[in-house]
Amino acid sequence: MPFNIILNAVKQPKHQNQRNLNMPFISAISKIDLPFKVTQQETKQQAYEMFSANFPQTERLIFAFDNTEIITRNFCKPLSYYTTPNTFEERNTEYINTTLEYSVQAIEDCVVKAGIKKEDITDLLFVSTTGLATPSMDALIINRLKLNQHVNRSPLFGLGCGGGVSGMAKANTVAKANPDAVVCLVAVELCSLTLIKSDYSKSNFIGSSLFSDGIVAAIVKGDNHGKYQPVQYVASSSKLYYDSLDVMGWDFKDTGFNVLFSKDIPTFIHEHVKEDITEFLDTQGLKLSDIKNFIFHPGGKKVLDAYTNALDLNEQQLCKTRGVMNDYGNMSSATVLYVLERFMSKGYEDGYGLMMAMGPGFSSEMVLLKLTNPTA
């Protein structure tokens, strides 16, 4: 063998070898547009009416609704529902019923898009942090759809906003281990059902300006179902930051889930995100400039501004991410999958795509994809 060929083989970057491995791919994705979509100005008015009598900072903070860049919000119930007194038990029952109805709808649509039968599904991963069910929601879904009784199921709770990317990483890990796998990933977050009407805290008020509801399903297939697909998995990364448990999460009370999040999240992103992405891409022989598609979780305007500044991105590079936030609000784990759906349905640039989200822990989750537009 000529010396220059040997040398090139030694120097070949890691990512160039990825295609020789069993690499799964995202076959299809389906999102739900819920029936009660309302404008941000409508939610602002209702929040003012709900909080003003008992929350002294309402007048000063109400303008937070105008600074989110959110135009419309995705809700599973009409606005009038959230003004009516209810218990945690009642809200959680609504969570179970609504989750089951729309998860089935999303899966059925995704199965058609993926060109498979529901009986082909080998694994079901269910991601959520906004409600509780035992048996878990994946068991309810399998029963309702009459999926194969031997489906491997994995309910993933507590990942919050990071759950969509983490779930996608885990779905691809399953499909990489079993090239015959057909993995169904479902993410459901009904954030509006966690609103506690009697909670007049600042966190609850600010949360009411951001969070919405989302349901999305994706089908990930193993390598034996086809090679060199348009949206192919390359690698993933998960990082937990020590001593940051109080940055984001729930405080569980008798009345339900009290939202906790720190105003320092944008600062945290600015301090860590560039180094974390650089380290991850370096393991794949890539640089930030190799990323052509930024599929990020839009946690809010300040979060997107932090990403933009830390990574020196231009407005166009986050336009689809920002567009999902404008149109839906922050749907926690489901949001980044809505962003991915927008890339897959509206178009992307040939090259690498980076999915990224941060969530309770505090943690960062990343998935590296290779996106290729199908040739005519």
**Under 8 Å between Cβ of 296 and 339:** yes
- Residue scoring higher pLDDT (116 or 362): 116
Q: Among the options 76, 110, 161, 184, which is catalytic?
A: 161
pLDDT at 255: 85
Cα–Cα distance between 187 and 99 in angstroms, integer?
10
pLDDT at 3: 37
Half-sphere exposure of 242 (CA within 13 A, CB side): 0
160-169, 212-221, 307-316: segment of lowest average pLDDT? 307-316
**Under 8 Å between Cβ of 19 and 331:** no
pLDDT at 262: 72
pLDDT above 70 covers a percentage of the chain that reads 94
pLDDT at 339: 97
pLDDT at 348: 94
Mean pLDDT of 48-60: 83
Band (pLDDT 50/70/90 cuts) for residue 22 is low
Rounded to the nearest integer, the mean pLDDT of the chain is: 88
Q: Are strands 291-296 and 351-359 parallel, antiparallel or unpaired?
A: parallel
Checking if the pLDDT of 267 tops 90, the result is no
Q: Which of 163-177, 231-245, 269-283 has the highest mean pLDDT?
A: 163-177
Q: What pTM was estimated for this model as a whole?
A: 0.91
Q: 243 CB contacts (<8 Å, ≥6 apart)?
A: none
Checking if the pLDDT of 74 tops 80, the result is yes
User: What tens digit of pLDDT does each residue of 189-203 get?
Assistant: 999 999 887 777 787
81-85, 273-277, 345-349: segment of lowest average pLDDT? 81-85
319 is catalytic: no
Cα–Cα distance between 340 and 347 in angstroms, integer?
10
Checking if the pLDDT of 263 tops 50, the result is yes
Band (pLDDT 50/70/90 cuts) for residue 49 is confident
